[in-house]
Amino acid sequence: MPVPVEDLWSLAPEFWLTGLGLLLLIVDLFVGEDRKVLVGWVAILGLLLSLPPILGLQGTPARTVFFSAYAVDGFAIFFKIIVVIATILVILSAMESFRRQTRFEGELYILLVFTSLGLILMAGSADLILLALAIEFVSLTSYVLAGYFKTDARSNEAGIKYFLFGASASAVMIYGFSILYGLTGETGLYAIAARIRTSPEPALVVAVALSLAGLGFKISMVPFHQWTPDVYEGAPTPVAAYLSVASKAAGFAALVRLLLVAIAPSGIDWITLMAGLAAVSMTLGNLLALPQRNIKRMLAYSSISHAGFLLIGVAAFKGDFGTPGLLIYLLAYTFTNLGAFFVAVVLGERLGSDEIPDYAGMAQRSPVLAFLMALFMLSLTGIPPTAGFFGKFYIFAGAINNDLLWLAVVGIINSVVSLYYYVNVIRVMYLVPPASPEPVAEPAALRVALGIAALGTLLIGLFPQPFINLVSAAGLLLPF
């Protein structure tokens, strides 16, 4: 059966990224080892050029293509934008550090582009087979990225741990998918939704629980979070930034589509399950972040906590506040968390340390970096008028509107607890005297990435309405 031409046009962004990755392989062959940064600039240009076809899909009717295996709707388009922006910023942040630490610089940019392709496929997958393949594709490239510094024992450890945990989680997830297929005889999410009402509830609960293993691994959700601190600490800092944002965003896109499209028609109480996991993830992530002295480990446990906040948005994904809540939180988290990691990239390079006490006196040595880090820390806490404040406001309002007042209270308490370890970073930078008066300079490309992250954090907080309109349109998930 021939594929309709309009289906092919709907996949223009995916075809573009595939072609870009192949082009980068060729460029990398002909560029000298001292000029591999050119591969990065070509990657950035190609990613920027992928935005027009993505934005061109806005306003088109929501539909599935390729025999109902792939969804083209506002929800998927929103996540494509997030993934492309995050990839561009991470490549900018990596240009300086990878040039100094590895001769395989060009391959890094190629892997990031192919990873972005896999993440985009995850966000639009409407079939269990395609979703499993997309997750595995992303996982394989992510394992390589985490262990990229071959001579660094911590990077090797990160790659191995990520692989072992990821392989186990994927195996359990695919077993859950197989049960869903066995119960319904279908792999398409929309076809599953039509038949799942007659499935026995005990088997369905088992299938959902097992399926959550792989998706929970991607979003660093408790109890599938154990890999996060070790991988974030050992992986190159730009890679850790990418895993904390782009991979998490695509994981949430797949989770929401699976739950709302395929599982919700069954009538099982998945909302209570998501609410419970949200409360546990927020609390455990915050408590484990409190004693951390390494900035990357602190941000790793913070990432687990934010997975809990995002799960509030999943549990309350309906209504005027609930539907856009998850998306605006993800948008705010993208700029804010990337910005925090980018500051860690600069200081890790210049200080030779990722320990928070070594940030002492940074307000004197680099006032701009100190101010930006303070901005990102306050946004992660949820202090107005930053992007993080509006993200938390919307998910808490969504929880209250969906009769989850207790969950909103738990989220507010956890926000207060998180203030301790975020403000501790600010305290060290501004109140502790510096060990050296030498100023800290930022590379030009990384300065651009930091500027964009800071601008996004401030614009969402100061002028939220355009972003609220954006996420409200993106919340139009193709219904069953």
Q: How far apart are CA 399 and CA 391, in angstroms?
A: 12
| Cα radius of gyration (the chain) | 21
pLDDT above 90 for 35: no
25 CA to centre of own chain: 25
Q: Are 119 and 138 in contact (CB under 8 A)?
A: yes
- pLDDT tier at 282, thresholds 50, 70, 90: very high
pLDDT above 80 for 33: no
Mean pLDDT along residues 51-58: 87
Q: Which residue has the higher pLDDT, 253 or 7?
A: 253
Q: Which residue has the higher pLDDT, 262 or 475?
A: 262
pLDDT at 300: 92
pLDDT at 46: 95
pLDDT at 294: 92
Q: CB-based contacts of 419: which residues, under 8 Å, 6+ apart?
A: 381
Mean pLDDT along residues 66-78: 86
pLDDT at 480: 44
- pLDDT tier at 5, thresholds 50, 70, 90: low
pLDDT at 91: 93
pLDDT at 418: 92
Mean pLDDT over the full length of the chain = 88
pLDDT at 479: 55
31-40, 48-57, 119-128, 451-460: range with lowest mean pLDDT? 31-40
Q: Are 246 and 118 in contact (CB under 8 A)?
A: no
Mean pLDDT along residues 382-408: 90
Give the percent of the chain with pLDDT over 90. 47
Q: Which residue has the higher pLDDT, 147 or 277?
A: 277
State both tokens at 197: 């009402």
Q: Which of 146, 105, 101 is nearest to 300 (CA)?
A: 146
pLDDT above 70 for 4: no
pLDDT in tens, 303-359: 999 999 999 999 988 766 777 888 999 999 999 999 999 999 888 888 888 889 988
pLDDT in tens, 240-268: 999 999 989 999 999 999 998 889 888 88
Q: Are 73 and 63 in contact (CB under 8 A)?
A: yes
Q: How far apart are CA 54 and CA 118, in angstroms?
A: 15
pLDDT above 50 for 272: yes
pLDDT at 342: 92
pLDDT in tens, 408-426: 999 999 999 999 999 999 9
pLDDT at 323: 75
pLDDT at 73: 86
In degrees to the nearest 10, what's the CA dihedral of 457, 85, 133, 212? 0
pLDDT above 80 for 196: yes
Using CB atoms within 10 A of its CB, is residue 82 exposed (0-12), middle (13-18) or buried (19+)? buried
Mean pLDDT along residues 190-214: 88
Q: CB-based contacts of 98: which residues, under 8 Å, 6+ apart?
A: 105, 108, 236, 238
pLDDT in tens, 84-110: 999 999 999 888 777 766 677 788 899
